[in-house]
Structure 1
Amino acid sequence: MGRSILTSGVVLALAAQFASAVLPRGVHKARVLKEPADLADSYDYVIVGGGTAGLTIADRLTEDEDTTVLVIEYGLLSDSESIKTVRGGFGGFGAPGALFPTRSVPQVNLGNRVIDVLAGKVVGGSSAVNAMMTIRGAKGDYDRWGQFFREDSEWSWEGILPYFKKALTFVPPNEDVAESSGIVYDTSFWGEGESGVYTSWPSFQYPGTSAQLEAWKEVPGVTFPPDSGSGETGVYWYPQFMDPKLVERSYARTGHYSNSDRENYHLVTNSKVIKIVVEDGTATGVSFRPADDPAGEVSTIKASKEVIVSAGAVHTPQVLQLSGIGPSALLEAAGIETIVDLPGVGQNFQDHPMLTARFTLRSLDVSPKESDLSRGGEFRTWADEVWAANRTGPYSIATGNLAAWLSYPVISARYDEIATRLEEQDHAAYLPEGTDSTVAAGYKAQMLSYAEALRANHTGFYNHAITASPSNGIIVDLHPLSRGTININPENPDAEPLVDYRALSNPLDAAIMADIIRFARSFYMDNAFNAQYDPVESQPGASVQTDEEMATYLARTLSPTEYHPAGTAAMLPKELGGVVDEDLRVYGVAGLRVADASIMPTLVGANTCQTVYAIAEKAADLIKGSVTTTNTNR
């Protein structure tokens, strides 16, 4: 195999790495980590959760040296190589103790399967364990959020784009790799290096990846946006969360904590928040105990200005409910005094379902390919050599960099029929029995918004990651219609919350997913480019054709999660089941905000990490008062 193809990237010099020696207890890098007994009695801001959003907000607030911030994190600092490595993309999942042990309740529409609920339990949160895919989503995803409030809301594509730019430092791909692979990008959609969180590109791309791009040019209606960050649907290359010098994961800890040495920025780890202290309608502090000791001493720290909850979509509703903020019937059943009856807390739960549909282009020569790394030979030897020498080559690829994100009219001829059926549904009938009328009203508003999107070309419903392999099989439904719940367990509120995806509870989900599979089948089996390479379908198989057959197949094979939980403390008007307003303030409690994926009223058609960074950047400005809304929904 000639090296002219394989060494097209410029060699990246490997920067010196921090020593991995165990540091004294309470000390990490340049700043002291405080034990609870060593903390101040009061801070201006107390942030619950040291993850993607929490660390970003803390960093931005402490830019003012007179502002004091405490971050309370359940997990620990981890220097695991599994988190640092970009090889394979999912290394963080294997870091010891980096994930919560949460599992769903049995999913009645999926044969009572119990699903692992993956969320980061480490400083840096889920940004420390995700697949490092830097995806932004479409303009319609963000315009939809503000339109639930008013037409001129700042929660829109134009309103959040500056925060996308601020949140990340974009490093373009190597020119040789971009040219040889056909990578297209436009730096105008990115910022000027304001963040310590990097998004960059691997120093190698498999020839087979760009070769398969040609097949998409045969599909009517498919567009090719100028950049993954343009807010357009179509087929595009995207970067990954990677420090281009270290060639390691770039995440909230490395970007918003590790390089900071501020006396006004404190972090306490291994700490489980048991409640937000609310006095006379105002959040005044946070009580917490050791995460690894249920009988441990409880500490209470005051917040002189605000408490900010950034515990993630799985645990933020639990923190609120434990504090007496949530559905009163649930709180009463758990023996918790209701401080604010807020029915939307823990409702509106959404995640991206993953569909299995496997197709193989049997005679397509895409060598070298990723599977060759496990087979030895010249390619494996070369890959090992360049990685060891300068951290370049195929091991610098996280999870691939080319994907299709398509709107529903492109993938289905019956988009108008499905939209009409969605409009005419009795929407409340597909929510849990006893759902509050405000939550039901919010769900109806979401479904009507989706019906409009099903007819339009501004919202992606189909995601297909393209790899160098001749076989591809993971497809994502970007906007599921079903809604689940994440609530405390009334019998043991302190335990992990009860997570119910309620997968396929809206029957139109199965119909839309059937169309998604049919489109994938047509793309592989009928596409003129792919047809020349002897395509074969192994799943679901030619015998699965009708909506009913597809629904049966989905019940057996569907994963209700791509590990993108969202929506459980939704930013919606209170009369639509909202938990926070446009300023991210919790209804009914002064001095309390939520800022993380839980505030998304509807899922973005993308991996959620980049959006959470943008939410956090905007939240920091809202907290500092540098931006305001004209919200009247308090």
Structure 2
Amino acid sequence: MSFFGQNFLGFIAAAALIFESSAWAFQRPQYELRYLDDSSQLRVSYDYVIVGGGTSGLTVADRLTEDGKSTVLVIENGPLVESPLISEIMGGFGGMGSGYTYNTMSVPQSHLRNRTFPVLTGRVVGGSSAVNAMMTVRGTSEDYDRWGELFGQGSSWNWKNLLPYFKKALSFTLPDPLVASAFNITHDLQYWGNTSHIYAGWPSFQYPGLVPAIDAFREVPGVEFPVDSGAGRAGVYWFPTFLDPKNVQRSYAKTGHYERINRTNYDLIADTRVTKVLFDGRRAIGVSAQQTRLNTTLLSNVNASKEVILAAGAIHTPQLLQLSGLGPKKLLESAGVQTIVDLPGVGQNFQDHPMLSTVQNFTIHPEPSDLFGESNFSTWAQEVWAFNRTGPYSLGVGNVAAWLPMPVISPTYHETIASKLETQEHSAFLAPGTDPTVVEGYRAQMKNLASSIRSNNTAFYSLSLTGSRAPGGASVFLHPLSRGTVNIDVRKPNATEPIVDYRALSNPLDVEILVEFIKFTRLYHFNTSLAAFNPKEIAPGENVKSSEELAAYVQRSITPSEYHPSGTAAMLPRELGGVVNESLLVYGVDGLRIVDASIMPTLPGANTCQTVYAVAEKAADLIKSRL
């Protein structure tokens, strides 16, 4: 499906939401577990109160209620819906226009010509897993080893110890044998599980144009071709989709960790906003929440006898922590919020995956005659291509991509970039007044990333191969060096949305890396067998040649987000600006834990959804180990 077609779905979804919202005022699904219509149905107390009914929140709730002993309440700010625009397959970022996302905007980005950008995260039961691009990808082994290294030897946060949770989180289904044979789709089941109700599946069609796009990477020195996307290796590989193979629909947190469950100890209330975590001294004892019904705001306090668990995501978890008195003391005092614990790292260390462009950089138009004249494609593949040139609705953004390290992207210059990163004055690239502990944490991260720039197994560059028009629509920067902030507005601390500042390109080495991306993308298109298809460069344009000209193009064209916000309540030692420890418990208080993407100290070099599932599975075991 084309980029424009994907966004057309978003416009349809927005219009459909008007009808759907009114319809759901009179009818909602009848689940066998307890769905609460309003706060009057809340129990006096729960063992666990989970704030956020998204990817991580529903996963943890499912696991904590399995034995029937613990009572759990999930509070979701968004609605509970049965929209076919969620359950059916939406290609690309179509879900981001569905009406089920937060309406948050960043502040003007000073290094991006003062442009502002949407901050899109899921606001619906199921969270971002309900509206994402369904790309089922995990990072390399080094991405997760890097987390534990910041705690020293003996940490359980590494590839070896997370792999069982990646396997537990998803059930892998095999691709269609004909498709797999025609396109050499390989897999290795040792990296996958089969017990989850979240599925990693495959569409029944792939574009024939993918074959020359993949083969062209075989001509680039150093590119590896891992046998499976789950192997923890950088390279070019096929990966599945969050797809239920039986009903050919999106598989997401709501379908896997809510709908199928019949437990009276698992309650969920939607359309309810948590405004504060409640404390008795320094122990979290519950939350304060509000609902709006018929223009009337209803306030409720909900007790948690064991833990309050935050799963509100990397934008709203730090906002809630700060409103509850946990965060940088100077910021809280300026906002008139009483400080319970001075935690300078709350809302800092904000990361996302920048995209170099939101449109095609290059176009290639392989025709059937180009592909089949001397190929070994089956008659089946030719017939499918002839029947439907644009592909079926069940195909999202594609299932193969390049995830490449810097020695491949920039063989002659990556060492210079790594050396520059090591010798930088790192504090100069953080927000003014950043706490010394946060500076030290940033310095430690940059030291690790300098080593990663030299490594062949940390992917910095990603290019999706869609096959319908051209290889990829944007190159994605998987390990940006710049760090932003997510903070409450000191003038209006109770505003619905926090102040989000990507601080994109605040570290100038990000620009240098992105310039190398453009040079590599040109090499891939014009210095390999793809040149036979007469590719045409749309942007930045063939007349833009010097590094200075390319840098200017980066600054006016980059988008700072692939909708993967992370890092704002980082799992780091407290002396490095950490907010949670290795058990995901918040420093300085009792009974408060965080289980979402905000705990990631550094981004994985992949779409974040699969990693969030794994973190949530591990978090559930950490919680149950304390029972």
Q: What is the TM-score normalised by the length of structure 1?
A: 0.90
Q: Does 1:240 align with 2:241?
A: yes
The residue aligned with 1:411 is 409
2:275 is paired with a residue whose SS is: strand
SS in 2 for 1:512: helix
Q: Does 1:352 align with 2:362?
A: no
Alignment match, 1:225: 226
User: Could you give the per-residue CA deviations for residues 307-339 of structure 1, whole angstroms, max 9, x where no partner exists?
Assistant: 100000010000101100001111111111001
Partner of 1:278: 279
SS of the residue aligned with 1:297?
strand
Q: Secondary structure at the match of 1:44?
A: strand
Aligned pairs (5 A) from 1:70-81? 70-81=73-84
**CA distance in 2 between partners of 1:366 and 1:455 (Å):** 42
Tell me the equivalent position of 1:4: none
- Report what 1:3 is aligned to: none
8 A Cα contact 1:82 1:92, kept in partner? yes
Task: Report the counterpart of residue 158 of structure 2 in structure 1.
Answer: 156
Q: Which residue number corresponds to residue 587 of structure 1?
A: 587
- For 1:176 and 1:26, the matched residues in 2 are separated by 41
298-307 vs 543-552, greater mean Cα deviation: 543-552
Matched, 1:445 2:444: yes
Q: Does 1:402 align with 2:404?
A: no
Distance 1:284 1:26, change over 3 A: farther
CA distance in 2 between counterparts of 1:311 and 1:329 reads: 24
Once residues 103 and 525 of structure 1 are traced to their aligned partners in structure 2, the CA distance between those partners, rounded to angstroms, is: 38
Aligned length: 590
- The amino acid that maps onto 2:556 is R
2:263 is matched with: 262
Q: Within 2, Cα distance between the matches of 1:147 and 1:183?
A: 34
Offset at residue 29 of structure 1 (A): 2.6
Between stretches 469-478 and 569-578, larger displacement belongs to 469-478
Q: Deviations over 1:153-188 (max 9, x none)?
A: 110000100000000111010111100111111111
Residue 253 of structure 2 aligns with which residue? 252
| Helix, strand or coil at the partner of 1:395 | coil
Report how far residue 297 of structure 1 moved: 2.3
Give the 3 Å change call, closer, same or farther, for CA 481–293 of structure 1 in structure 2. Answer: farther
**Residue type at the aligned position of 1:75:** G
Structure 1 residue 138: deviation in Å?
A: 0.5
1:499 matched to 2:497? The reply is no
Could you tell me which residue of structure 2 aligns to residue 83 of structure 1?
86
Partner of 1:8: none
Distance in 2 between the 1:464 and 1:490 partners? 40
Asked if residue 465 in structure 1 is aligned to residue 468 in structure 2, the reply is no
Question: Is the 8 Å Cα contact of residues 486 and 568 (structure 1) preserved in structure 2?
Answer: yes
Q: Equivalent residue for 2:480?
A: 480
Name the structure 2 match of 1:632.
none
Higher deviation after alignment, 532-541 or 445-454: 532-541
Show the counterpart of 2:454: 455
Aligned-pair CA distance for 1:195 = 1.1
| Structure 1 residues 170 and 626: alpha-carbon distance in aligned structure 2, compared to 1, 3 A threshold | farther
Once the two structures are superposed, residues 469-514 of structure 1 have per-residue CA deviations (whole angstroms, 9 ceiling, x without a partner) of 3434311010000000011111222220100000100000000011
1:143 aligns with 2:145: yes
Three-state SS of the structure 1 residue aligned to 2:533 is coil
When structure 1 is superposed on structure 2, of 596-605 and 23-32 the one drifting more is: 23-32
- In 2, Cα distance between the equivalents of 1:326 and 1:284? 18
After superposition, the C-alpha distances for 1:375-409 in whole angstroms (9 at most, x for unaligned) are xxx9799559xx9xxxxx72221110010000111
Report if aligned partners of 2:32, 2:263 keep a CA contact under 8 Å in 1. Answer: no
Contact 1:208-1:366 at 8 Å conserved across structures? no
- SS of alignment partner, residue 440 of structure 1: helix
Cα distance in 2 for partners of 1:171, 1:379 equals 22
Q: SS at the partner of 1:593? A: strand
Q: Which amino acid in structure 2 is aligned with residue 114 of structure 1?
A: T
* Cα pair 1:383 1:395 within 8 Å, conserved: no
Contact 2:207 2:468 in 1 (8 A): no
Where does residue 490 of structure 1 map in the other structure? 490
Map 1:613-628 to 2 at 5 A: 613-625=613-625
Q: What stretches of structure 1 of length at least 5 have no aligned partner?
A: 1-19, 370-377, 388-392, 628-634
Q: Please list the CA deviations of residues 49-107 of structure 1 after superposition, one character each: whole Å capped at 9, or x if unmatched.
A: 00000000000000020110000110011111111121424332233x30111010011
Identity of aligned residues (%): 55
CA contact (8 A) 1:237 1:403 kept: yes
For 1:135 and 1:40, the matched residues in 2 are separated by: 39
What amino acid does structure 1 have at the position aligned with 2:504? A
1:41 deviates by 1.1
Q: Which amino acid aligns with 2:407?
A: P
Counterpart of 2:611 in structure 1 is: 611
SS of the equivalent of 1:65 reads coil
Of 586-595 and 209-218, more deviation after overlay is shown by 209-218
Q: What amino acid is the match of 2:586? A: V
Equivalent of 2:168, from 166, 178, 181? Answer: 166
- 1:364·1:533 contact (CA, 8 Å) conserved in 2? no
Quick one: which amino acid aligns to residue 561 of structure 2? Answer: T
CA separation of 1:292/1:425 partners in 2, compared to 1, >3 Å: closer, same or farther?
Answer: farther
Q: Distance in 2 between matches of 1:293 and 1:581?
A: 42
Deviation at 1:32, TM superposition (A): 3.1
Q: Is the 8 A contact 1:138 1:605 kept in 2?
A: yes
Q: Is the 8 A contact 2:135 2:240 kept in 1?
A: yes
SS at match of 1:86: coil
Distance in 1 of aligned mates of 2:369 and 2:261: 45
The equivalent residue for 1:182 is: 184
Contact 1:488 1:497 in 2 (8 A): yes
Task: Give the superposition deviation at 1:520.
Answer: 0.6
What aligned pairs does 1:117-132 form with structure 2 within 5 A after superposition? 117-132=119-134
In structure 2, the partner of 1:134 is 136
Distance 1:396 1:366, change over 3 A: farther
User: 1:134 touches 1:240 (CA, 8 Å); kept in 2?
Assistant: yes
Instruction: Give the 3 Å change call, closer, same or farther, for CA 363–401 of structure 1 in structure 2.
Output: closer
In structure 2, distance between residues paired with 1:145 and 1:51: 23
CA deviations 1:562-591 (Å, max 9, x no partner) are 000000000000000000000000000101
Tell me the secondary structure at the aligned position of residue 150 of structure 1: coil
Alpha-carbon distance change, 358 to 89 in structure 1, aligned in 2, over 3 angstroms:
closer
- SS of the equivalent of 2:160 reads helix
User: Following the alignment from structure 1 to structure 2, what is the Cα–Cα distance between the partners of residues 554 and 264?
Assistant: 52
Q: Give the SS at the match of 1:29.
A: coil
Task: Give the equivalent residue in structure 2 for 1:374.
Answer: none
1:307 is matched with 308
- Residue 28 of structure 1: how far off its partner (Å): 2.8
1:249, distance to aligned residue in structure 2 (A): 0.5
Other-structure match for 1:214: 215
Work out which of the residue numbers 41, 44, 47 in structure 2 matches 1:41. 44
Cα distance in structure 1, aligned partners of 2:210 and 2:458: 25
Output the amino acid matched with 1:344: G
- Judged with a 3 Å threshold, the aligned counterparts in structure 2 of structure 1 residues 284 and 87 are, in CA distance, closer, same or farther, namely closer
Q: Name the CA distance, whole Å, in 2 between partners of 1:210 and 1:84.
A: 30
Q: Which amino acid aligns with 1:170?
A: F
Determine helix, strand or coil for the equivalent of 2:298.
Answer: coil
Q: Does 1:421 align with 2:420?
A: yes
Task: Say whether 1:338 aligns with 2:339.
Answer: yes
Contact 1:400 1:467 in 2 (8 A): yes
Give the direction of change, closer, same or farther, for the CA distance of 1:87–1:286 in structure 2 (3 Å limit). closer
Distance 1:440 1:181, change over 3 A: same
Q: Which amino acid aligns with 2:400?
A: L
Question: Runs in 1 of length 4+ with deviation above 3 angstroms?
Answer: 20-27, 291-295, 361-369, 378-384
CA pair 39-26 structure 1, distance change in 2 beyond 3 A: farther
The CA deviation string for residues 248-289 of structure 1, in whole angstroms up to 9 with x for no partner, is 100000000011111000001111111001112110111100
| Range with bigger deviation, 544-553 or 480-489 | 544-553
CA RMSD in angstroms comes to: 2.2
What code does the residue aligned with 2:546 have? T
- Cα separation, 1, equivalents of 2:74 and 2:110: 38
Q: 1:268 and 1:366 mapped to 2: Cα distance? A: 56
Deviation per residue, 1:181-225 (Å, 9 max, x gap):
11111111101x221111100011111112321111111100000
